[in-house]
Amino acid sequence: MRKIAALLKTGASRAFAGSLNAIETIGNKLPHPATLFALLAVVVMIVSWVAAQVSYQAVHPVSGAAVTVKSLISADGVRWIYTNVIRNFVSFPPLGLVLVVMVGIGVAEGSGLFTVMIRALVLGAPRRVITSALVTAGILSHLASEAGYVILIPLGAMIFHALGRHPMAGLAAAFCGVSGGFGANFLIGSVDPILAGLSTSAAQILDPEMVINPVVNYYFMFVSAALIVVLGTWITEKIVEPRLGAYEGPAEKVPVARLTPLEKKGLRAAGWSVLVTIALLALTVVPRGGIFRNPEDDTILHSPFFDGIIVGILIFFFVPGLVYGLMVKSVKNDKDVVKHITKSMSSLAGYIVLVFFAAQFVYFFSYSNVGLVVAIQGAEGLRNVGLTGVGLIVGFVLLSAFTNLFMGSASAKWAILAPVFIPMFMLLDYHPALTQAAFRIGDSVTNIVTPMMSYFALIVTFAQKYSERYGIGTIISTMLPYTLIFTLAWTLLLVVWFLLGLPLGPDGPLHLL
């Protein structure tokens, strides 16, 4: 029996390794996301021409009018492309939203505020809650672009090692929060306006007046963040750490730097500035007649406050970042502020290139009516097979998770999936907030087990500091329990949320009103 069990284990290991190798090979053959969008735009042109030749159409479920595909490979189509390339780019919602919010994030990150916040959260926690503090810090690190991957993950391994625990367990705890819980957060981060902008573009294929705000999933993401902290802590302490056993590697324990008195002073000042900022913003919407309430009916939901929420997010990061920088002297004058913003913007060069091609793909899709016709036909097909409600939601979570194994960029994946699935779900009476929430789950849970994730190689490098034999297989086998349990529990949370009929966030209902 033992020999049979050993053979089965060996066979399963080989099959698993073979699957991982296949995933890595396929993923490596994918072109750069920018190239992928350029190719997809060309594909849309060809598909639109073919569909126009056969008069492919559908009946609009609202107006009852026939929707016919317009060919992009025609005199009118070519003229439209030539005169709208610039407009497509500059009017693409995610571009402006991200550029604006990065002004505030750039100051907060460049001044050192984010780094100190992470260190304070982790190092100030009692030993019995150090694991949950690491996972929580990982989730909060989504506020910064790279701080979680570059700073927190190696810091987690270092802290566990310093406490006499296995460093790989600390690395895993931080990694599961930073990447496995990427779609969850206690606060609004830089990914929210990106996804909301893409969702807006997709929703406007069907409803040109619809706008998705960045806080549309906030209620669900807040509860999701708490779920990830609980599950991440439990998996680390009950599954991952016992499996790893005692660390007997060659790495020496490195003392973790405590916050200096000046850093503590700056952090306190930044905290007070946050409270003042929140109080001032609250004064614009909480009292009746507030300046940022809807001037017509004095409501908050559809008001200037939420219409311009991205500016509020900018202020929320800019003010404490500036105060902290002035206190610790990382910001001495206006030149330093501009330097930090410029550095933050420079990191977006690749994103801007990606957006240029993604915008062409999305607007080609919209102009040609290919997306609308596919959505109408797809919605009818789903109705015919009876796949709606819970089955539809679970299926889309799993599809997103599978896609994430091959394509790491959340914005790139959503730019491809949103134009198809948001209108399709809308035609089944589901609000884009629900489609986006399901995507965020799938986009998060497989981050930690796919070599296609952009920081995966860096994680392997961090691990090899503690043992040269640690490689891709080590990381995947360590993180797989998080993926499996996160997928099951997080999807179940969304299903329960859906069945209870709870809103996903401000202006984020489950169904179209």
pLDDT at 383: 61
Task: Encode pLDDT of 62-97 as tens digits.
Answer: 566 787 889 999 999 999 999 999 998 988 766 777
Task: Spell out the domain ranges in the chain.
Answer: 39-500
DSSP-derived 3-state class of residue 511? strand
Q: Are 88 and 360 in contact (CB under 8 A)?
A: yes
Q: Are 445 and 490 in contact (CB under 8 A)?
A: yes
Percent over 90 (pLDDT), the chain? 29
pLDDT band at 382 (very low <50, low <70, confident <90, very high): low
The span from the CA of 3 to the CA of 9, in Å, is 10
Task: Encode pLDDT of 398-440 as tens digits.
Answer: 888 887 776 666 776 787 778 878 888 888 889 999 999 999 9
Q: How many residues does the chain have?
A: 513
pLDDT at 249: 81
More confident call, 73 vs 380: 73
pLDDT at 17: 47
Whether pLDDT at 20 is above 50: no
What are the structure tokens assigned to 266, written together?
């700056």
Strand partners for 59? 66
pLDDT at 423: 87
Whether pLDDT at 14 is above 70: no
Task: Encode pLDDT of 271-321 as tens digits.
Answer: 999 999 999 988 988 888 889 888 888 777 667 887 777 788 788 889 999
Task: Give alpha helix (H) positions in 141-238.
Answer: 147, 153-162, 167-175, 191-203, 218-235
What are the structure tokens assigned to 168, written together?
């790989």
Q: Among 217-221, 226-230, 393-397, 413-417, whose mean pLDDT is lowest?
A: 413-417
Distances from the Cα of 498 to the Cα of 372, 435, 437, angstroms: 26, 12, 11
Whether pLDDT at 145 is above 60: no
pLDDT at 268: 93
Q: Hey, how many other C-beta atoms are within 10 angstroms of the C-beta on 350?
A: 12
The model carries a pTM of 0.68
pLDDT at 244: 85
Percent over 70 (pLDDT), the chain? 84
Average pLDDT over residues 325-346: 90
Average pLDDT over residues 113-135: 79
What are the structure tokens assigned to 131, written together?
């694991």
Residue type, 102: M
Reference 313, options 97, 123, 132, 55; nearest CA is 97
Q: φ, ψ for residue 13 (rounded to 5)?
A: -65, -45
Whether pLDDT at 361 is above 60: yes
The span from the CA of 168 to the CA of 143, in Å, is 24
DSSP-derived 3-state class of residue 64? coil
Sequential DSSP letters for 168-192: HHHHHHHHIIIIITTT--SS--THH
Whether pLDDT at 467 is above 50: yes
Distances from the Cα of 38 to the Cα of 43, 340, 368, angstroms: 9, 32, 16
Averaged pLDDT of the chain: 82
Average pLDDT over residues 266-274: 93
Q: Among 111-115, 176-180, 478-482, whose mean pLDDT is lowest?
A: 111-115
pLDDT band at 262 (very low <50, low <70, confident <90, very high): very high
Whether pLDDT at 350 is above 80: no
The span from the CA of 133 to the CA of 444, in Å, is 20
pLDDT at 163: 77
More confident call, 146 vs 473: 473
Query: Which residue is it, tokens 């089955």?
Result: 391
Average pLDDT over residues 336-355: 83
pLDDT at 19: 55
pLDDT at 46: 93
Q: Among 113-117, 246-250, 474-478, whose mean pLDDT is lowest?
A: 113-117
DSSP 8-state code for residue 490: H
DSSP-derived 3-state class of residue 59? strand
